[in-house]
Amino acid sequence: MKTKKIVAGLMTTSILLSMGTGCAKKTNGGSSFGSNNKKSNIPVTTIARENGQQAVFELATAMSGKESMSQDELNMAYSKFIFEMMKLCAQDARGENVLISPDSVLFALNMTAAGANGNTLNQMMNTMVPGADEATAFSFAVHHMNSLRNDSLKLANSVWINQSKADSVYEDFLKCVREDFGAEVGTLEFGPGAVETINKWVEEQTEDRIHELIQELTNNDLMVLVNAIAFDGKWKTSYAEDSVYEGFFHNGKGEEQKVMFLSGEESTYLSIGKASGFLKDYDDGKFTFMTILPKDENEDINEFIANLTPEEYWEFWNSQDDSMEVYTIMPEFKSEYEIHLPAILQEMGMTDAFSEMTADFSNMTKKNVYISDVIHKTYIEVDRKGTKAAASTAVIMTEKCIAEPDPARYVTCDRPYAYAIVDKDTGLPVFLGTVENV
């Protein structure tokens, strides 16, 4: 089931990154990782990076406090990434519900970008935070992630390394994910056992809302980086039992669906020419739930959100009016969504990272890797008590597999040879001869 409501409540985030080495067939290696709750002091044998390059996390540290854009400018830049991604997802919805967590994708890709270099790094950061320099964009994502943590929203990160290949990973890259992302680091024997362990970790961190994030890992995969966030917000003012009633929701196909509606009175109304909505606060004082309802009753909601610009979104957000009560109705609902994002991210300008020929993650590992897939899953449940939400993003990194050409064959007719003119239908020679001399 996928959701039709467009919400601004913050989703939970879980990010996965798997990196391959080579092109061998899938294997059945088991898991040798210990407790899922071990901290980042798990010993991992790595190597020093001596490529002479300055990684983005080093640039970010060097220019701390000297960011090239203001917070408002960074928020606007990031919102361009949000609404462009939402636009492309909605355009591909085919009449289904769409639900994305842009923060999940941002954190996943930002962790990946910590190991990127050159045009690959530039394209990744300029796609996520358009117009910002690489170090500013990287710092923005890290600070944004850390600013979200509170009693309602919990964040956890982990890095899972193929134990047979850990010595190809750069020490300072892991130091970055430990310090900037608070990641736990450990090793696994990659195979079905590792898949089970990582998926279990994701389930635990998302409070059993995201399942089967990844399907398989092989001995050729190098690393999985996971970020998980669980959001559990209680309404500041919950819905009383007499405010919940059964009614009919009219879906985009014109059909009636029997649902439980939540009716209430809120204090904040939002409105622009094309939409109206309301805010309903959670009891943590940090997060709020926003509805965006097209004023045209016949508007296709996916077309509407695809055409909503960042500027219109900010105009809508800034239209908050607390001058009178707002009487509201919305349904209780539960929804899940999944999408593969490579084509969308490439259309947004992140091309090199997905190319075997051009991807440059030389600040992550000595192996040549590229992003082979980005899988995004989300979950939301809205009821009379509040909102539970989760999201996961899997960024699959795979070693470049450039096939060796077939051995060259040569036929040099610089000495006597035979020849034939052959009927292709029968294979019989119509003419057959030799060249003894020229």
Please count the structural domains in the chain.
2
Q: Are residues 183 and 50 in the same domain?
A: yes
Residue 353 backbone dihedrals phi, psi, to 5 degrees: -60, -25
130 with 261, same domain: the answer is no
Cα(260)–Cα(249) distance, integer angstroms: 9
Decide: 119 and 57 in contact? Cβ < 8 Å: no
- Select from 98, 176, 90, 99 the least CA-distant residue to 141: 176
pLDDT at 427: 58
Encode 289-302: b = buried (16+ Cβ within 10 Å), e = exposed.
bbbbbbeeeebebb
**DSSP states of 253-280 as a string?**
TS-EEEEEEEEEEESEEEEETTEEEEEE
Domain hosting 323: range is: 241-331
Q: Are residues 43 and 138 in the same domain?
A: yes
Q: Is 418 within the bounds of a domain?
A: no
State whether 41 and 128 are in the same domain. Answer: yes
Residue 90's domain is classified under what CATH number?
A: 3.30.497.10
Provide the residue type at 257 as one letter.
Q
Same domain for 43 and 186, yes or no, is yes
pLDDT mean across residues, the chain: 81
Give the residue from 301, 331, 361 where a domain finishes: 331
54 domain residue, yes or no = yes
Domain match, 308 and 229 both: no
Are both 148 and 186 inside the same structural domain? Answer: yes
Return the SS3 of 192: helix
Per DSSP, 353 falls in state G
Give helix 102-113 / helix 134-147 axis angle, nearest 10°: 130
CATH number at residue 261: 2.30.39.10
Cα 226 to chain centroid distance, Å, stands at 11
pLDDT band of residue 425 (cuts 50, 70, 90) is low
pLDDT, tens digit (0-9, with 9 covering 90-100), for 176-220 = 988 998 888 888 888 889 889 889 988 999 999 999 988 888 787
Q: pLDDT band at 403, cuts 50/70/90?
A: low
Number of neighbouring beta carbons within 10 Å of residue 343: 13
Residue 407 — pLDDT band, cuts 50, 70, 90?
A: low
In a 3-state reduction of DSSP, which class is residue 199?
Answer: helix
pLDDT at 99: 85
Check residue 4 and give its pLDDT. Answer: 34
Q: What angle do CA 426, 430, 435 make, to 5 degrees?
A: 130
| Both tokens assigned to 135 | 């170090």
* Residue 106 tokens, joined: 């941002």
In the structure encoding, which two tokens stand for residue 356, read together? Answer: 């075997």
- Tens digit of pLDDT for each residue in 228-283? 878 899 999 999 999 999 998 988 888 888 989 999 999 999 999 989 998 989 99
326 forms beta bridges with 266
Are 52 and 118 in the same domain? yes
Q: Tell me the helix, strand and coil percentages in the chain, rounded to 5.
A: 25, 30, 40
| 14 has pLDDT over 50 | no
Looking at the fold, whether 262 and 220 belong to one and the same domain comes out as no
Q: Which residue is listed with tokens 């349904």? A: 331
59-98: pLDDT as tens digits: 998 887 777 899 999 999 999 999 999 999 989 887 778 8
Q: Which residue has the higher pLDDT, 53 or 298?
A: 53
What is d(CA 232, CA 6) in angstroms, rounded to the nearest whole number? 18
- Alpha-carbon distance of 31 to 213, in angstroms, equals 17
d(CA 200, CA 191): 14
User: Taking 90 as the threshold, does the pLDDT of residue 6 lie above it?
Assistant: no
Residue 2 lies in a domain: no
Q: Are both 327 and 340 inside the same structural domain?
A: no
